[in-house]
Amino acid sequence: MTSDAHAYSQTLGEEQSIWFKIQPFINADDPMAVLVRLSQRYGGCIPINFRSEKIYILSEIEHARRVLVDNVDNYVKYFDGLKPIFGHAMITVDGALWQKVRQPQQPYFHPDVYAEYVPYLLVSLNKKMEEWSKLAQSGVTFEMLEETWGLAADMICRALFDREVPFNPHAVFGAVKAYTDASNHRSIRLKKASGELTDVTDEEPPAHAIGAWLTLPEAVISAEPWQGREKTLLKMMQSAEAAGLPAWDHAQVQDEIKQYLWAGTETTALTLGWTLYLLSRHPEVADKIRREAHEVYGTRRPTAADVERLSYTRSVMLEALRLYPPAWALIRTAVADDEIAGHKIKAGDRIVLCPYIIHHDAKYWEDPEEFRPERFEPGRIKKRVKYSYLPFGAGKRFCLGGQLSQMEVALALTQLLRRFRPEYVGHTPPRVAASVTLMPKDGLPFRLHELS
């Protein structure tokens, strides 16, 4: 274990960690149903006293507008417990530093640039389809999220870094799960409280995960370029470091790579995984996606323009994001006193804005628990109540990679489904774990059937 990994590991099990604050929700049989009921009971604002902290779980669109748009600078990001994972990456910082880090990266997430990424994404998808062909032939049951996580990591590495994945994605997926499993953090806490544990070694699962995770940025940086492209996000970050741009040093480059390998990978993996679950339950929708892909690009290699024309596939994906938003909660800390829809907010109070509850609110969505892709037909999107749909946040901190993720998922759906019929074989509906992201508590077990 490196000195950095060892230092981070010693902070595991701290009493004030977010991992203990979210325990009641993670351990509940149906945590999101509990939140929805509480939100209805308390008029969209659930006040929680946690020792010296005041926490508000907010779930009305006026709350979202106030926190994310109208008074956005008063609500800074809260990533306590995730610093080992993200460091000072763009996803965790605010203010002037956020601007300095985000600004040079924005050109690599412009729709015009996405056309350049499509051939690289297709390489990843073709590689995954060859792996899936073997899974289909064997008939084994496998964890779909592990597969979609590996696919998303491969797409990120090829498109943004010009690298083939320089690590074992299955091992890294296991490390991610070990770190975000709150029971592992609780185990360390109990050992510390009893005096059984004074030095956290890498034998503890979250500590081992940290050690593995911190090796990834250098693995990416030192790997041989895949195609030797002149213009990539990784090269831009390295040039910013070499030029001594404000806020850009080697640690910043490492932190940004960590951000994309976790946040960028996991949200795409979850979106694709949850969508495939829904399609397994609604095979007629999967058939419509297959027909649309055939009509739009037939048997030739799709282009970015083709992906833009996949309107039905995009509607399916957007509806999956409504039902199962990976970022189910956006956590902020109030910098100064404020008032939100009549609720007095004090400086230091924690704000948990909950897109999941908004997405499942009958005030904004007819029969909100039903899977209805037609909600997102182009003509109906304009009629939607503003701020009632927040899978990627809103305002100036709208997720930079949100559109890229949507393109990755739409392309993956049409490519994978034209060759396979994924069959979900787990608990129906899947039990949900409200951890850092909206995870299936028991995984997403699948079998594959190859189409003739």
Q: Could you tell me the domains of the chain?
A: 3-442 (1.10.630.10)
Phi, psi of 40 (to 5 degrees): -65, -40
- Residue type for position 121: L
166-189 b/e (C-beta count within 10 Å ≥ 16 → b): bbebeebbbbbbbbbbbebbbbbb
pLDDT score of 332: 93
Q: Which residues contact 249 (CB under 8 A, 6 or more apart)?
A: 241
Give pLDDT, residue 25. Answer: 63
Residues 6+ apart with CB under 8 A from 363: none
CB atoms within 10 A of CB 292: 19
Check residue 190 and give its pLDDT.
84
Cis check for the bond before 440: say yes or no (omega within 30 of 0): no
Rounded CA separation 201/38 (Å): 40
What is the structure's pLDDT at 60?
95
Residue 188's pLDDT is 85
Residues ≥6 apart with Cβ < 8 Å to 195 = none
Q: What is the C-alpha to C-alpha distance for residues 201 and 199, in angstroms, rounded to an integer?
A: 6
Q: Are strands 343-345 and 142-143 parallel, antiparallel or unpaired?
A: unpaired
C-alpha 228: how far from its chain's center? 29
Segment (H or E) for 338: strand 338-340
Cα–Cα distance for residue pair 391/27, rounded to 1 Å: 24
Q: Find the length of the chain.
A: 452
Contact residues for 22 (Cβ-Cβ < 8 A; gap 6+): 182, 434, 435
pTM of the model: 0.95
Residue pLDDT tens, the chain, 452 long: 678 888 888 888 776 666 666 666 666 788 899 899 999 999 999 888 877 788 899 999 999 999 999 999 999 988 777 777 888 888 888 888 888 899 999 999 988 899 999 999 999 999 999 999 999 999 999 999 999 999 999 999 999 999 999 999 988 888 888 888 777 888 888 888 888 888 888 888 888 888 888 999 999 999 999 999 999 999 999 999 999 988 899 999 999 999 999 888 999 999 999 999 999 999 999 999 999 999 999 999 999 999 999 999 999 999 999 999 999 999 999 999 999 878 899 999 999 999 999 999 999 999 999 999 999 998 887 788 999 999 999 988 888 889 999 999 999 999 999 999 999 999 889 999 888 889 999 999 999 999 98
Contacts of 232 (CB under 8 A, 6+ apart): 108, 160, 161, 162
- Tokens matching residue 79: 């990533």
**Beta-strand relationship, 350-353 and 53-58:** parallel
